[in-house]
């Protein structure tokens, strides 16, 4: 288990770079779990930036899924998914099986507990915690 304390966006993005530089060579799912304001989207933005995805990087709260085309770390696409308002059945209807079956996809899921029953066992799980206005704790 690895714990990172971040007091800035730059530190959170450095952690994001560490995550993607050590991705396994297969479809990768990164689950970001935590309350509102715990740093999930900031960490996702760092991952997107270091993958070379074209910004702006906004939370897909209302669109559910944002797709970015990339060519980095053996990946061709990043899906940033916010499951706050949906469940497993909805995610399957949106093409979940196709997304996770392509090893060139990187999938970032915010609020993964809402689709826990369809997440593969090898998904990378990161707990995001709000400490104070400037401090976040990430546990991986």
Return the axis-axis angle of helices 9-21 and 40-51, rounded to nearest 10°.
60
Query: Given a cut of 80, is residue 26 above it in pLDDT?
Result: no
What does pLDDT average to over the chain?
A: 92
Who's near 54: CB < 8 A, 6+ residues apart? 68, 69
Is there a contact between 60 and 80 (Cβ–Cβ < 8 Å)?
yes
Tell me 138's DSSP state.
Answer: E
Reading the block at residue 139, the tokens are 């546990």
What is the spatial distance between Cα 90 and Cα 118, in angstroms, rounded to a whole number? 11
Query: Given a cut of 80, is residue 61 above it in pLDDT?
Result: no
| Mean pLDDT value across residues 66-92 | 93
Q: What is the pTM of this model?
A: 0.92
């Amino acid at each position: 288990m690895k714990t990172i304390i971040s007091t800035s966006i730059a530190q959170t993005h450095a952690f994001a770079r560490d995550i993607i530089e050590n991705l396994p060579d297969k479809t990768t799912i990164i689950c970001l779990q935590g309350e509102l304001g715990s740093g999930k989207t900031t960490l996702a933005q760092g991952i997107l930036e270091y993958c070379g995805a074209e910004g702006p990087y906004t939370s897909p709260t209302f669109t559910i899924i944002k797709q970015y085309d990339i060519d980095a770390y053996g990946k061709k696409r990043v899906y940033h998914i916010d499951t706050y308002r949906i469940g497993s059945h909805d995610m399957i209807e949106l093409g979940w099986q196709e997304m996770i079956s392509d090893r060139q996809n990187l999938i970032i899921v915010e609020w993964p507990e809402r689709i826990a029953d369809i997440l593969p066992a090898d998904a990378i799980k990161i707990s995001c915690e709000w400490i104070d206005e400037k401090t976040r704790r990430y546990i991986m």
